[in-house]
Structure 1
């Protein structure tokens, strides 16, 4: 369990599916513009080991626009994917304990934001979680519980205070050999923000960016009404919701214990890691969904941070933040919402109970 005196809780950047429920929504169409085309017009990409779908509700969107979006995603991949040997983050990790690495302004911005989240959370979120993520390998074939000695060794390398940034020179240095940045989830949010910025710059003011289940809505629906998004049922497959919430332009990002895990000796080991113990977090929560109009990158930075706090502290923290709301689902199938969502959640699955309303 966490040492509350240190304020340390689990962290790992993840993707959790959200169900998108938009009445009258046409199914996916080719990424080409044509008069009278069904809306939305969409294109699908694969980056960061994630299926990304961009839907634009404007018949003027062109294949050139979608190609540009593909370039944005490719750029983020080469900036921030630690598994890509050509990426800047990979090079930073390879130079750990040796030298500072000059990076692009975009990579520096993402690392700086992740470091700030680490500082603000007192290590609940820690951008240097890479050694623990690699050790457990959850989601990969052959994943198993590591030996305690190996966990301790990896955990000794997790410390955001050992990251040195030099903004004038755009360099990043990891001070200890073996350290490793893992900001893939934040990177997905960064990519979503860049895509939204591009889409709006082209005059398209109604769109949905789906980063493997985490969403960023652009503007309102074409008729000017709010989007209706479904909150994923943590006990079911992707696309099954427990309820819906109407939102305007918003990032919807979630964390939970059900999508990537393995069972060993009757114990479920999921992908949300505790930066204090180096093992999966244990609390009463099955999932947390963050809704924020600040940015998708902000939402990605908050989701595991808030999940790791547990229900009571997580709710208190969200209620203290401007522009941030959350839906908490506990293992005993109760649903709790932050104060800004009171009276706005419509339940669609009667096996779950909306608490506190």
Structure 2
């Protein structure tokens, strides 16, 4: 069976970041840093007031790269020697010691799973791998019903617990995939580092997830454009200004495969074992924690347009949902999100 794969241009629906918002002055310099981490690009822009800002930037970039390397060594499923990979490979039911950071991300993932009534489930790894969206990134044929049943029996957030800095499996085959929260955590790690450096104005972005603080200059906030959910080209859906918050966007239009004209999304519903199949194509969430925004955006994507919007409103979340229609796209956002919209200037 031939399966057409469409190249994943990014880990999830991306936001496009605007540049050129600040002119260097004798007392303020706009510093831009970039690199690679977790299989995606990162971009950091911050305003510095030090006279030797360029020299300081080199040291900061080195420190940031080390921090992100550590996150990858802790939580990557692509690195077979990472903490998480070693936990997944283990068949022991005894407590498995991990770093405080990994324990923190798993604990938050469990909390969000409970909040979303199981829709966000980081134990869905066996299904993600079965559908070809895990580290092996390829399947030769669609999963059979027996394969789906076997994988479904290995999934369930109740099979994973955290006790201090220990992860505990209820079944030997349990496999944890933190792709829905770890990248957002990486953003938070960098933002917290810049906070510790006394940087008052910054924009940190890793693969489309972001955290913002302060302003781009004295006249304006940082402005971000949410990407229109189309796979053929890049276009802007909406301008927003998240202010001192994290931003994460989940979508099903960047990573998928097609078979006999049918599209299979990389977002797998733990309740069915199948890729999601509804009209909701993009969800953006603004939250003080980028890690939390990361998980919540995926949870709402899994719920679909009606239940997702109902959940976002019930939890008073700042959420922006894009739904595909026969004529294009419809957008809806919660009351909590409206304050972040950038109004057009007449």
Range of TM-score over shorter length: 0.7 to 0.9
Instruction: Note the C-alpha offset of 1:125.
Output: 0.7
Aligned partners of 1:290 and 1:56: how far apart in 2? 23
Partner of 1:16: 13
Check whether the contact 1:15–1:185 (CA below 8 A) recurs between aligned residues.
no
Query: Does residue 106 of the first structure (1) align with residue 96 of the second (2)?
Result: no
Whether contact under 8 Å (1:306, 1:314) holds in the other structure is: yes
Tell me which of 252, 262, 275 is aligned to 1:267: 262
Once the two structures are superposed, residues 177-210 of structure 1 have per-residue CA deviations (whole angstroms, 9 ceiling, x without a partner) of 2210001331111111111111011111111111
Equivalent position of 1:312 in the other structure: 306
Given candidates 48, 57, 66, the residue that maps to 2:61 is: 66
Distance in structure 2 (CA, Å) of the matches to 1:175 and 1:342: 43
Work out whether 1:341 is the aligned partner of 2:327.
Answer: no
Note the C-alpha offset of 1:172.
0.9
Q: What pairs with 1:160-175 in structure 2 (closer than 5 Å)?
A: 160-167=157-164, 170-175=165-170
TM-score (norm 1): 0.84
Question: Is the alpha carbon distance of 1:312 and 1:236 closer, same or farther for their aligned partners in structure 2, counting shifts above 3 Å?
Answer: same
Deviation at 1:64, TM superposition (A): 0.7
Report the secondary structure of 1:185's partner residue: coil
Gaps spanning 5+ residues in structure 1: where?
1-13, 27-33, 349-357
Specify the SS of the correspondent of 2:71: helix
In the alignment, is the contact (CA less than 8 A) between 2:250 and 2:294 conserved in 1?
no
Identify the residue that residue 149 of structure 2 maps to in structure 1.
152
Work out whether residues 22 and 216 of structure 2, in 8 Å CA contact, stay in contact via their aligned partners in 1. no
Counterpart in the other structure of 2:30: 40
Q: Mean Cα displacement is larger for which, 236-245 or 206-215?
A: 236-245
Give the TM-score normalised by structure 2: 0.86
Contact 2:77-2:177 at 8 Å conserved across structures:
yes
Distance in 2 between residues matched to 1:145 and 1:306, nearest whole Å:
26
Q: Tell me, in whole angstroms, the C-alpha distance in 1 between the residues paired with 2:297 and 2:256.
A: 18
Q: SS state of the match for residue 247, structure 1?
A: coil
**Per the alignment, in what secondary structure is the counterpart of residue 161 of structure 2?**
strand
Within the alignment, does 1:251 sit opposite 2:246 as a pair? yes
| 2:13 partner SS | coil
SS in 2 for 1:62: helix
In structure 2, how many angstroms separate the alpha carbons of the residues matched to 1:183 and 1:20? Answer: 25
Shift of 1:277: 1.0
Q: Please report how far the alpha carbon of residue 84 of structure 1 lies from its aligned counterpart in structure 2 after TM superposition.
A: 1.1
1:54 aligned residue: 44
Contact kept in structure 1, 2:320 and 2:333, CA below 8 Å:
yes
Contact 2:12 2:252 in 1 (8 A): no
1:315: Cα distance to partner?
1.7
Following superposition, the deviation at residue 343 of structure 1 comes to 7.6
Consecutive unaligned residues in structure 2, runs of 5 or more: 1-10
- Does residue 183 (structure 1) correspond to residue 173 (structure 2)? The answer is no
CA contact (8 A) 2:203 2:222 kept: no
Distance 1:131 1:92 in 2: 14
Deviations 1:135-160, CA, capped at 9 Å, x for gaps: 11138345652222111111111111
Q: Tell me the SS of whatever aligns to 2:126.
A: helix
Q: Compute the displacement of 1:264 (Å).
A: 0.2
Determine the C-alpha separation between the residues in 1 that align with 2:97 and 2:107.
14
**Does the CA contact (< 8 Å) of 1:44 and 1:54 recur in 2?**
yes
Q: 2:190 aligns with which of 192, 195, 202?
A: 195
Residues paired across the two proteins, number: 324
For 1:228 and 1:241, how far apart are their aligned partners in 2? 12
- C-alpha contact 1:136 1:144 (8 A) present in aligned 2: no
